[in-house]
Amino acid sequence: MCTDFLIQSGDGAWVNGRSMEFGADLRTKIYVQAPKQPAVLRGLEGEAFETTPDHGYVGTSSFDLPVVTDGLNTAGLSTGALWLPGTEYQPISLSHRNVFCAFFVNWMLSHCATTDDVRHALESGSVHVVGGQWVAKAGPLHFPVHDAKGNSIVIEFLEGKPVISNNPVGVLTNRPVFPWQLENLRNYVNLTPWDKESVTLGSQSFAPTGHGTGLDGLPGHATPPARFVRAAYLKQFALQPKTAAETAALAFHLLNSVDIPLGTVRAKTQPTLTNPEGVEYDYTQWAVVKDLTNRLLNIRVYGSPLAWSIDLKTLDFTALSGKQLPIPTGQVALPLPVL
């Protein structure tokens, strides 16, 4: 389960927040790819992705593989992979470029600068995102895509075809499919950031129990529809920050509202040698906030609330290209001032 959203600062910067929820430890690292430098990437089953990127990019990898699950490129394009059961990828094309679904994020970050670039590649058929029936069951994915101009789309693969939707609210979670999630927002139009007024019944006046009564009915559980509603309404109601840095701080606050602590969401699964208790814990393993305008990627992991930042404008892509960098998990202990 994951949550993704786009917000804008008062000075025009676009900021993308995203959380990653998963049961198994993804062993996430930061992957760096330089532009114009040929790369051959291989997946868990030996799938190969060969490319010479037009853009450099930084993203999150999983299982010590260069398979990017979320990232930002030097053109300000941001995208990632979110879980969507029911996905059916495209059939292999004999005349166009086939990209294995696990590498689609890598491909977009390598070759696209805008959402229009991504849309054209899929609608023209110049790229096919492929994966067999077993792959679609084991790794069903849909993709939010945002660019530095504030454009936002969602890409889903249904019945073997790409379905591209404009994203007017700039939010995505998981299933059901995006159009259903958008329509479901109509069930919560009663929500408001304003406290409710007192009401008089008979001869007595009853005041609200406290602040926040306008949000009565906002779903608070961890399901994808609840997180979609929560993210959409809270980012709409939040006061717009003036600067990109303040907007990044707001994005982390919004991510706090969909955070899943370890142990609060559980599923029974088949016991194995590595999981003898047969329980899967879905929890928030990391969260990223990406400033698309200023090309900054901020990341924090479950073990620490401290966010670490990467500036794509000053990053030495050539020296780090193809490398996976560990994400710091600790906090620096500073001595208390002497009073």
- Tens-place pLDDT, residues 280-335: 899 999 999 999 999 999 999 999 889 999 999 999 999 999 999 999 876 655 56
Task: Say which range, 42-46, 140-144, 260-264, 317-321, has the weakest mean pLDDT.
Answer: 42-46
Query: Cα–Cα distance between 9 and 54 in angstroms, integer?
Result: 28
In degrees and rounded to multiples of 5, residue 98 shows phi and psi of -100, 130
Give the pLDDT of residue 339. 55
Position 102 confidence tier, pLDDT thresholds 50, 70, 90: very high
Residues in CB range of 232: below 8 A, 6 or more apart: 5, 169, 171, 185
Give the pLDDT of residue 43. 67
Read off the pLDDT of each residue in 46-69 and give the average, rounded to a whole number: 89
Q: Is the pLDDT of residue 200 over 70?
A: yes
Burial state string for 124-138 with b = 16 or more CB within 10 A and e = fewer than 16: eeebbbbbeeebbee
In degrees and rounded to multiples of 5, residue 16 shows phi and psi of -115, 125
- Is 166 in contact with 172 (CB distance < 8 Å)? no
Q: Is the pLDDT of residue 42 over 90?
A: no
> By C-alpha distance, which of 124, 140, 146 is closest to 7?
146
Give the pLDDT of residue 3. 98
Give the pLDDT of residue 330. 67
Q: Is the pLDDT of residue 17 over 60?
A: yes
- Tokens describing residue 34: 């330089």
pTM of the model: 0.93
Domains of the chain, first to last: 2-186+218-326 (3.60.60.10)
Position 113 confidence tier, pLDDT thresholds 50, 70, 90: very high
Which residues, listed in sequence order, are joined to residue 80 by a DSSP beta bridge?
70
Q: Taking each helix axis as running N to C, give the angle between helix 104-111 and helix 115-123, from 0 to 180 degrees, rounded to the nearest 10.
A: 120
Give the pLDDT of residue 334. 55
Give the pLDDT of residue 272. 85
Give the pLDDT of residue 60. 97
Give the pLDDT of residue 333. 54
Task: Say which range, 26-40, 72-86, 214-228, 270-284, has the weakest mean pLDDT.
Answer: 270-284
The residue that leads in pLDDT, 94 or 234, is 234
Percentage of residues of the chain with pLDDT beyond 70? 96
The residue that leads in pLDDT, 276 or 75, is 75
Residue at 240: amino acid letter:
Q
Q: Is the pLDDT of residue 93 over 80?
A: yes
Give the pLDDT of residue 336. 58
3-class DSSP state for residue 139?
coil
Q: How far is CA 207 from CA 85, 148, 198, 273, in A?
A: 45, 46, 4, 57
Query: Cα–Cα distance between 192 and 212 in angstroms, integer?
Result: 9
Query: What is the CB-side half-sphere exposure of residue 239 using CA atoms within 13 A?
Result: 5
Read off the pLDDT of each residue in 30-59 and give the average, rounded to a whole number: 85
Residue 303: how many CB atoms within 10 A of its CB?
13
Read off the pLDDT of each residue in 156-177 and give the average, rounded to a whole number: 97
- Tokens describing residue 177: 């499919």
Position 182 confidence tier, pLDDT thresholds 50, 70, 90: very high
Query: Cα–Cα distance between 100 and 237 in angstroms, integer?
Result: 39
- Is 66 in contact with 41 (CB distance < 8 Å)? yes
Task: Say which range, 36-45, 205-214, 238-247, has the weakest mean pLDDT.
Answer: 36-45
Q: Is the pLDDT of residue 260 over 80?
A: yes
* Dihedral sign (CA 113, 114, 116, 118): positive
Q: Is the pLDDT of residue 256 over 70?
A: yes
Task: Say which range, 102-106, 262-266, 277-281, 294-298, has the weakest mean pLDDT.
Answer: 277-281
